Amino acid sequence: MTKKERYTGVISWFEKKMPVAETELHYDNPFHLLIAVILSAQCTDKRVNMITPPLFEAYPTPEVMAVSSTDAIYHYIKSVSYPNNKAKNLLGMAKKLVDDFGGKVPDSMEELETIPGVGRKTANVMLIVAFNKPAMPVDTHVFRVSNRIGLTDNSKNPEQTERELIKYIPTKYLSKAHHWLILHGRYICVARKPKCEECGLTPYCKFFSKK
């Protein structure tokens, strides 16, 4: 099977089985999405969704959060991973939005990456979810699933994975493909023991073919 055939088969299967694929984070505007994505680093979406309703109510805008304190923010997020660092990043993020972007979340990679707590993956998530721009954020699920299936050739890091996926996945599918791979990795192609018996991608999967 050629790489092009593998990609074609995988995309076709996802299109039929998962026509709607979206983030599982809850949010109501780009600012709140940015908060949720920052909090989701090394933490489950389920946990983030549990704590964000009162956080969003307390901080409806960047202007309100920018005049808060890390201690006040920490009170709302203390049950997530690395709450001290994330509280600091959220306060810095809000101040950056107010000081440099008029209280609005920017919609370019270059500007997003200047914000505290925002790396390339977070910026890419914002581009596809908040602004509907083609991008390919690579988290642990996307990295693992891409390598297992054979969409990438033993990529050594997320940046390499991102480049290869963007090369082979048509632009119109990029944003959806990110969610396809995350959800597949979260529920089927799990880290320790992938549920191959439940997976419809086995005809295209290098990992399965070697079992």
Cα 190 to Cα 76, 109, 164, 176: the distances in Å are: 30, 30, 22, 19
pLDDT in tens, 82-114: 999 999 999 999 999 999 999 999 999 999 999
Dihedral of the alpha carbons of 18, 200, 11, 13, in degrees to the nearest 10: -60
**Is the entire prediction scored with pTM above 0.85?**
yes
Find the mean pLDDT for residues 13-38: 95
Q: How far apart are CA 206 and CA 102, in angstroms?
A: 48
103 and 152 assigned to the same domain: no
Whole domain around residue 200: which residue ranges? 136-210
Active site residues: 121, 139
Does the pLDDT of residue 210 top 90, yes or no?
no
Q: Report whether 196 belongs to an annotated binding site.
A: yes
Domain presence at residue 12: no
Q: Domain ends where: 131, 163, 190?
A: 131
Residue 153 has pLDDT above 90, yes or no: no
Co-location of 199 and 109 in the same domain: no
Instruction: Return d(Cα 93, Cα 131) in angstroms, integer.
Output: 18
35 lies in the same domain as 127: yes
**Does the annotation list 43 as a binding residue?**
no
Residues 127 and 146 in one domain: no
Q: How many domains does the chain have?
A: 2
